Amino acid sequence: MRRRQARESAARTYARALPVVPVRARGLTIEDADGRRYLDCSSGAGSLALGHNHPVVLEAIRKVLDSGAPLQVTGLTTPVEDAFVAELLRTLPPGLAGHARVRFCGPGGTEPVATAVALVRAATGRARVVTPTDAQYAADPATCCPAEGGEAPAGVLVEAVRGECGPRPVPGTWLRGLRRITERRSVPLVADETETGVGRTGAFWAVEHSGVTPDVLVLSKAIGGSLPLAAVVHRTDLDDGRAAGAAAFRGNQLALAAGTATLAHVRVHRLAEHAARVGARILARLRGLAGEFACVGAVRGCGLAIAMELTAPDCGPGAGTAGELAAAVQRECLRRGLIVDLTGPAGNVLRLLPPLIVTEEQTSAVLDRLADAVQAAERSRADHGPPPGARTAR
């Protein structure tokens, strides 16, 4: 193990950020090489809607493997692809499902966004695509759709739940206001559902919380059922054939089959509603921790996309930064058999992304372990000697 790591780059990836070597996994549980089990609340950065190795996903993959069908097809329609598209259309917001087309693209992080940008540019004949800044998300939505030199933008690209720095829901009133403005100015509205789609936020697609129907949906991560897959769904009238992608891996049959099984399971078993119920319980408990521990700051999110900020109240010299405190909480979680993710520029935002199949019993275990970890980290900080009058854990 040490020899292998010595040959690798010093750069740390998401998977090697924690000292866990997974050898088996099922649902919410990961087992490492030493036989220790962990509850995984990172879910592959949110890509595992059904957790690890869900039976319906494995069966779908085996079916394709056993059929003898080609595993990779580019530019040809297959029964596996047809099944995926049919299931995807069943899940779309009604205002889009009746006149939508699906365009597959490379499964990387940038390809689906680039495909959507090329699509709206080709459809409108304009070049400028607006992505709102932090200030614009907090201001009048009209600032996202300005006319420069008398010309409207080619499109506006938004997230209904912003993923950076932990899940941050955008107010529905703001999105509805933006939708009215873009419709009035004939500007396509593009919703990026890479982080939020397939029930993660308590609705199948995050834009549904606001009642907004976008012109374009950018989809990735969870739609592949644990395998790399990305697609762009758009209104048929935006397609003039000039923005067709040519990504080499857009037709992976195993990913399409796994994605179909995942979409259908989430839809049939109403897992988005389950995510909303369980997520509300998690948010309530974490907000209780914010009232109990000085180091817990803002708690936010929706469904099973939840963030908790760690702060660093003055506990004297050597107490450390908020990022160091968050790393300490993460380590304490790991000692208790819980895997959580850290994000944000300062690394001080703890992110919970459990799979949509998490049970009430597992939720209790996650919350208890997290609360114990926060208490342990706070106690360690208190040992540095908080100044008189500083709030400590009760």
Question: In terms of domains, do 200 and 315 share one?
Answer: no
Is the same domain home to 107 and 242?
yes
Strands 305-310 and 338-339: unpaired
d(CA 76, CA 262): 23
Query: What pLDDT is stored for residue 244 in this prediction?
Result: 52
As given in the structure block, the two tokens for residue 10 are: 């010093």
Confirm whether 228 is domain-assigned: yes
| Residue written as token pair 């762009």 | 232
Q: Say which residue the tokens 């760690």 belong to.
A: 310
Distances (CA, A) of 320 to 58, 81, 295, 310: 45, 52, 12, 12
Q: Is-contact 210 203, C-beta < 8 A?
A: no
**Read out DSSP for 271-298?**
HHHHHHHHHHHHHHHHHHHHHH-TTEEE
Please report the pLDDT score of residue 216 as a whole number.
97
CATH number (domain holding residue 285):
3.90.1150.10
**CB neighbour list of residue 34: distance below 8 Å, 6 or more residues apart:** none
Task: Provide the number of structural domains found in the chain.
Answer: 2
Q: What is the pLDDT along the chain (394 residues), one digit of tens a residue?
A: 443 444 444 444 444 567 888 999 999 999 999 999 999 999 999 999 999 999 999 999 999 999 998 888 877 789 999 999 999 999 999 899 988 999 999 887 789 999 999 999 999 999 999 999 989 999 999 999 888 778 999 999 999 999 877 899 999 999 999 999 999 999 999 999 999 999 999 999 999 999 999 999 999 999 999 999 999 999 999 986 654 555 666 779 999 999 999 999 999 999 999 999 999 999 999 999 999 998 999 999 999 999 999 998 755 555 578 999 999 999 999 999 999 999 998 999 999 999 999 999 999 999 999 999 999 998 887 766 444 444 433 3
Q: In this structure, are 213 and 357 located in the same domain?
A: no
Q: What is the spatial distance between Cα 394 and Cα 392, in angstroms, rounded to a whole number? A: 6
Best CA proximity match to 313, nearest among 392, 370, 216, 204: 392
| Same structural domain, 187 and 220 | yes
CA-to-CA distance for 211 and 123, rounded, in angstroms? 25
**In terms of domains, do 80 and 228 share one?**
yes
Residue 388 located in a structural domain: no
Report pLDDT for 241: 63
Q: In which domain, by residue range, is 35 found?
A: 2-53+271-382
Identify the pLDDT of residue 258.
Answer: 98
CA–centroid distance for 198 within its chain: 10
**48 domain residue, yes or no:** yes
Q: Which of 251, 268, 285 is the last residue of a domain?
A: 268
Residue 392 lies in a domain: no
- What per-residue confidence (pLDDT) applies to 73? 81
Q: Do 163 and 306 fall within a single domain?
A: no
pLDDT of res. 170: 96
Residue-wise pLDDT tens digits, 325-368? 999 999 999 999 999 999 998 999 999 999 999 999 999 999 99
pLDDT attached to residue 245: 53
The structure tokens listed for 214 are 């976008």
Q: Are 189 and 215 in contact (CB under 8 A)?
A: yes
**Residue 246 confidence (pLDDT):** 53
CATH code of the domain in which 240 resides: 3.40.640.10
Query: For residue 169, what are the contacts with CB-CB under 8 A and spacing of at least 6?
Result: 160, 161, 162, 201, 209, 300, 301, 302
Is 63 contained in some domain? no
Residue 393 domain flag: no
* Angle between helical axes of 55-67 and 253-268 (0-180°, round to 10): 150
